[in-house]
Structure 1
């Protein structure tokens, strides 16, 4: 199915329950891209609803649809894309930090049920609750293509050994902000002891640096793997003895190298690091000697056991040793000049983390103009999910390359893969560089080195040499526009035949009030009508005397970039862009909704029984609200095993509304299913109870 992310409705009366996915046949969505399911809209206060909130990632050509009832002045009966998540996966997402929910669900939705459940169990049952955010981050940001094939126990072993090592190091402490069992936005980072003018000071790293470059289990082109029954973080620090690289007594353990270190690095303008940073480099040079022999492993454990290598082996063991020592470390690639190395994150000033920088090790390939031995073309960093980004400006004078991809109709194409290549060092052969994707305007921008030839491929279209060495002078800007000679022309939905009471595109943050029909039900439609990119959308819907007020935020656009690399298993990294005009909002009638893909059966029954679920009294009670009841309502609630755990009856009032409240004090966390029947109408709802 299409990669997408679960909608999370947020109300002031959470936590406790998240009303979730059900799919009565009368609401079945027949889009060729995805299916939609009916989901009750969680409200902020009371019933009937006066304020409701939502947050979701809309995949291309899918919609969030909410029904407005002018008689009761309520919104309900929500249609959202079906993300194919298991019950345990839903529970795990609900338990994870809010800043991870969309990315986590985007990844989980691409996996089969077995792997979803394995990852969900890790998130729900960590060794300690404080480990949950690190586990959830790995599940959200290891490329889904790798999650499909790796031993998932990598994730658990990685985090368990991380915290064990943290307890032993003098210069670093993992600190938590928020309570993982109570707060929705909790996170962790590392607080270091750093040295300045002979005095130990405290320094914290930004959380993004912590998660991506300390926690993430993948450094460059290797698949994270269990070797000798251990993951590299535990093996490099402790050594499991299966194939010990300490058996001769000449190779030190990383644990011993760090045992007496009291500070992470020293703040000096030109310092390589000192402290733990220097101890890691010294340890690497003590374990691996220059001069590679066959075989040429890429796994850090195997390199540590092999004891020799060239720059590739040194890079792979250095980033792993740095992260083992809880120092943020990233692999840098200058493959087309035949060199790679690492950089470590260090602060210039202990109280100004924004003035920090990535400092390369002594083998960094600076351009000749910066004191190096070669002219550099493409230098890039490698993020753990496969995302690659240019850092040439740190090492060389540079120029800017802008590529714009157009379809045969002249319109920009987003999410198009762009490969940037150059000639290799001391050869005329064109070698692969890095890759990126075009944004919603069809544009990809990158920095490249000066005085080099550059070659571009967009999707399957080879543009050949687009910049030559004579013209690529420092500070130059090159704009390359191409029309893809392919039959692939993504198309948006045709909205011309839809009756719209109101219509506009959502751009960033918006606050607007719209008039609604007074004599018939209407439908609020949020349609991502852009064919290639998803959009994160959040909002609040308020019923006011003047109409329906919408507070909306198009948070970001999302694409997936296939990595142009030497990996055994290619990544598909997640790339975020500033929001564009992807999502159309309009108000329409039932025929308009039906034209988006609802079934004929739904058209014959445009007003089905609507069942909504919400919590009351600090999650001690669940309220089931039913609209459209024509006779006595029969309600049954089942757990995930199919056992009926609650049953009740209620008579509707003159408006067709019935309310049933269920005490849940004795109910465990889990996935539940509610089934309500009134006369010939039937409605079901799947919801998650979180303790």
Structure 2
């Protein structure tokens, strides 16, 4: 038992860059800031402006733009070339290695699934890409989304194992629509690019229809995988005692559990459809009851009728084999209950407390999950194990069909604590995609308990039942901690305290993560300054690969979304861009390491091409998703007098006081809602700048850290320009 396109140069170090829902160009909104920021802290290196530019302004014109939603794979790079000759931006993304059918299948699928489909297809060879692309392309409406989801959210290792037939995914989808047409308590709801279900639920002598979230429908009704088994056609009469794949056989000798359980049965038993033909509600809201408790009660009765609580030497987790043996302990009951429930279109999953040797189920109704264990007629009785059985849980998790585990300890334990595990390499750098395995101590013995995966932050967070000593182990391609196999290190030396958060660090001292060695370049004595980049970006989420433990297919990996990611961002000239690609130390005009969002202007320091680089080089198992907007502005009209039609709209008052020795204030006005204020010394150096976010306002300059001298203050809104002069005396 129990896991982007214009004229640029884009180079990928290890993997290709994936486009999200495509690349589009759209209007740019200037960055808005309500804070005054020190010069050069956000907008790149210090730029020296010729003195005559104090009296004249550049007329910036938009030359080109790129707006994209991209995915940068681990160890990879997305780059944009700003070409000074063509006055253009160019991005050129080597596509991920996909066959033509795979590309067509991705395009044929709903937009919200294309990113995950691209990742999954890119992790398979061409034979399996074509196999699973074909079933998506040949599927009739309305089955495409269900099939595409099953491919996108299935570990690539399982899709590539030769036992999962593409035709099974079609049969699985067809069964869902057929069974929905016969059930009185469920209706499928079709939207433009996805499907979900709504259920009739009884409450307080009344019934109402409640629609479940999209992801609940796909993960816990549609997905053909339950826990650690491989979805496959099964000859149910073949023993799986020594080989979990021994019973694989295509139809007609092999069957699919959703089809079989619905309408077929062994002698002396009834098929599931007969238990459900008069049921009008999903759940009647009754606790620990079968009769009158809707489809939940009916499936509870079906499980009790079909399975005895017992086991022999064979402990299968294929639902059809469990049915054929007509017996099983809690593990078999967990797997079989999920299969029966999903056949009845009840959203269902397992719940597991491995270290205390018990598992059960949950079903989704109304707006949340409910405890369920048919063998004991437990329905919505969360604390029966802690209060009634005397269990002391280290953790409880709900396995998702791809092997990821959702921590649900807070539902089953009165007292809980959190433990935050930081995983670092031998140089103290964060390790992404590290598998953190926890063990619990009971009666001086250690038992496997749960696992999780670090994000790019290097952190894995667990909620645990307070009261259990915990131990941990980390495994990753760069090494493990402890280094000896099958060993663990203490995490909590004593029982945890309720409500407390513990922080622990685990170092893989023998390993090193990939790392970028760079320095920030010294600014030139004089700046060319005739072109500039305006960049807005954010990393709203990332997707991390984690190991699915206990799966029949060794090395199967799930993909888990983590809100908020980060990326390295650089502005490089061609020489240093080449050094970067070669893995050599390089100099950057501008650098933002591990930033989750930002906006900045970059004025070209020299008359040379510039590469904007978004690097995921230092990650090994994390895909970073980036929303990016880049605009290239060109001072094509050169140095020109400010437009005569705007002076009355852009103004700045003389500083007061003037001269001054610490602070001076200016009143300003601009023609729009956003602009820019800059302060220069007589050498032409911009020593301070900030955004203006109101058409009229006052700005106070705190100059205590600046030397005495004359300073020029300029205000611009992109079309008009005004200036003032102040004298700082100390």
Say yes or no: TM over 0.5: yes
Show the counterpart of 1:435. 451
Show the counterpart of 2:558. 573
Distance between the aligned counterparts of 2:317 and 2:287, measured in 1?
33
Query: Deviation digits for residues 367-388 of structure 1, max 9, x if unmatched?
Result: 7653333222221110011001
Stretches of structure 2 that go unaligned for 5 or more consecutive residues are 28-61, 236-253, 483-487, 584-607, 610-730
Following superposition, the deviation at residue 157 of structure 1 comes to 1.9
Show the counterpart of 1:676. none
Show the counterpart of 2:146. 134
Show the counterpart of 1:181. none
Distance between the aligned counterparts of 2:341 and 2:529, measured in 1?
62
Distance between the aligned counterparts of 1:152 and 1:332, measured in 2?
28
Structure 1 residues 393 and 567: CA distance shift in structure 2, 3 A: farther
Following superposition, the deviation at residue 138 of structure 1 comes to 0.9
Query: Deviation digits for residues 209-250 of structure 1, max 9, x if unmatched?
Result: 1111111111111111111432211111122xxxxx43x2x2
Worse-matched range after superposition: 192-201 or 565-574: 565-574
1:613-652 superposed matches below 5 A:
none
Q: Secondary structure at the match of 1:496?
A: strand
Show the counterpart of 1:554. 539
Distance between the aligned counterparts of 1:392 and 1:126, measured in 2?
40
Show the counterpart of 2:496. 472
Q: Secondary structure at the match of 1:100?
A: helix
Contact (CA 8 Å) 1:500, 1:587: kept in 2 or not? Answer: no
Show the counterpart of 2:283. 265
Are 2:42 and 1:57 equivalent residues in the alignment?
no
Distance between the aligned counterparts of 2:452 and 2:394, measured in 1?
16
Query: Deviation digits for residues 30-83 of structure 1, max 9, x if unmatched?
Result: 73x2368999x955489x98554322210234222223345554323x232542
Structure 1 residues 406 and 585: CA distance shift in structure 2, 3 A: closer
Query: Deviation digits for residues 608-634 of structure 1, max 9, x if unmatched?
Result: xxxxxxxxxxxxxxxxxxxxxxxxxxx
Show the counterpart of 1:411. 429
Following superposition, the deviation at residue 598 of structure 1 comes to 7.8
Structure 1 residues 464 and 68: CA distance shift in structure 2, 3 A: closer
Contact (CA 8 Å) 1:43, 1:52: kept in 2 or not? Answer: yes
Worse-matched range after superposition: 230-239 or 364-373: 364-373
Distance between the aligned counterparts of 1:566 and 1:88, measured in 2?
29
Show the counterpart of 2:369. 357
Q: 2:360 is matched with which residue: 341, 350, 365?
A: 341
Distance between the aligned counterparts of 1:598 and 1:408, measured in 2?
24
Structure 1 residues 268 and 517: CA distance shift in structure 2, 3 A: farther
Following superposition, the deviation at residue 333 of structure 1 comes to 1.0
Worse-matched range after superposition: 290-299 or 113-122: 290-299
Distance between the aligned counterparts of 1:86 and 1:334, measured in 2?
42
Show the counterpart of 1:458. 474
User: What is the alpha-carbon root mean square deviation over aligned residues?
Assistant: 3.3
Show the counterpart of 2:194. 187
Worse-matched range after superposition: 53-62 or 108-117: 53-62
Following superposition, the deviation at residue 166 of structure 1 comes to 1.4
Structure 1 residues 500 and 74: CA distance shift in structure 2, 3 A: farther
Contact (CA 8 Å) 1:219, 1:320: kept in 2 or not? Answer: yes
Distance between the aligned counterparts of 2:231 and 2:552, measured in 1?
12
Q: 1:496 is matched with which residue: 516, 519, 539?
A: 519
Contact (CA 8 Å) 2:18, 2:118: kept in 1 or not? Answer: no
Show the counterpart of 2:111. 98
Q: 2:258 is matched with which residue: 230, 233, 248?
A: 233
Following superposition, the deviation at residue 330 of structure 1 comes to 0.5
Structure 1 residues 438 and 44: CA distance shift in structure 2, 3 A: closer
Distance between the aligned counterparts of 1:279 and 1:175, measured in 2?
24
Q: 1:485 is matched with which residue: 482, 487, 509?
A: 509
Worse-matched range after superposition: 314-323 or 444-453: 444-453
Following superposition, the deviation at residue 404 of structure 1 comes to 1.3
Q: 2:420 is matched with which residue: 397, 402, 405?
A: 402
Contact (CA 8 Å) 1:413, 1:442: kept in 2 or not? Answer: yes
Show the counterpart of 1:603. none
Distance between the aligned counterparts of 2:397 and 2:138, measured in 1?
37
Q: TM-score, normalization: structure 2?
A: 0.64
Q: 2:296 is matched with which residue: 269, 274, 277?
A: 277
Contact (CA 8 Å) 2:196, 2:213: kept in 1 or not? Answer: yes
Structure 1 residues 175 and 483: CA distance shift in structure 2, 3 A: same
Structure 1 residues 548 and 38: CA distance shift in structure 2, 3 A: same
Show the counterpart of 1:166. 180
1:253-402 superposed matches below 5 A:
253-267=271-285, 274-347=293-366, 353=367, 356-361=368-373, 362=377, 366=383, 369-396=386-413, 397-402=415-420
Structure 1 residues 518 and 162: CA distance shift in structure 2, 3 A: same
Q: Using CA pairs below 8 Å that are at least 6 residues apart, which structure has the higher relative contact order? A: 2
Distance between the aligned counterparts of 2:200 and 2:528, measured in 1?
60
Query: Deviation digits for residues 482-518 of structure 1, max 9, x if unmatched?
Result: 22232x21122233387999xxxxxxxxxxxxx9964
Query: Deviation digits for residues 119-144 of structure 1, max 9, x if unmatched?
Result: 1112222132x211111111111111
Distance between the aligned counterparts of 2:84 and 2:195, measured in 1?
46
Q: Aligned residues, how many?
A: 509
Following superposition, the deviation at residue 440 of structure 1 comes to 2.4
Following superposition, the deviation at residue 556 of structure 1 comes to 0.7
Structure 1 residues 237 and 484: CA distance shift in structure 2, 3 A: same
Q: Secondary structure at the match of 1:83?
A: coil
Larger Rg: 2
Structure 1 residues 96 and 37: CA distance shift in structure 2, 3 A: closer
Structure 1 residues 342 and 500: CA distance shift in structure 2, 3 A: farther
Query: Deviation digits for residues 60-110 of structure 1, max 9, x if unmatched?
Result: 34222223345554323x232542111111111122222211111111100
Distance between the aligned counterparts of 1:103 and 1:482, measured in 2?
31
Distance between the aligned counterparts of 1:423 and 1:270, measured in 2?
32
Show the counterpart of 2:725. none
Worse-matched range after superposition: 587-596 or 48-57: 48-57
